[in-house]
Amino acid sequence: MADLVVRPVARFDTGAMARLLNAIIATGGTTAMTDPVTPDEIAGWAQAPRAAWHVAEQAGEIVGFQWIEPWHALPPEAASIATFTAPGRTGLGIGSALFAATEPAARALGYAWINAEIRADNAGGLAYYQSRGFRAWKRVADVEIAPGLVVDKIWKRYDLD
């Protein structure tokens, strides 16, 4: 995607990011998030210590974003990753371009590895992280992500060394 630009997130991106993420949440089946998000929530998340956030922009439109940050369920040398691509835009290299920016950012922040926690029924997400070199290392059964909505989670690990 020659005209795809990946750059750090700016505050003015959060409205477009919330719309993109809310479209994914509304469709269901690929994210553990079940409630809509606001631009202010995203702006707050992006302020987390040791976090790196990137957007993919094409022709002035946010078509994807990715972040890494610490997570309480991981040791301090590990970052948690999340990736979102606009509906209808998967498989076009957006995720690859985002990870090309995230991987060196993770190294610069001092992380030794990155963990992806993926719904077991999210075939696209599992394939994406596998294609980046992540390997499955843990399965968590029966995670309730919303009242009455229970899924298994697969954790995949990418070593930075």
Which pLDDT does position 29 carry in this prediction? 59
Which pLDDT does position 147 carry in this prediction? 77
Q: List per-residue pLDDT tens for the chain, 161 residues long.
A: 559 999 999 999 999 999 999 988 887 656 667 788 899 999 999 999 999 999 999 988 999 999 999 999 999 999 999 998 988 766 668 999 999 999 999 999 999 999 999 989 888 889 999 999 999 999 999 988 777 888 899 999 999 98
Residues 151/143, Cβ–Cβ less than 8 Å: yes
Which pLDDT does position 118 carry in this prediction? 92
CATH of segment(s) 4-159? 3.40.630.30
Which residue ranges make up each domain of the chain? 4-159
Residues 68/80, Cβ–Cβ less than 8 Å: yes
Closest among 40, 67, 38 to 52, alpha carbons compared: 67
Which pLDDT does position 35 carry in this prediction? 81
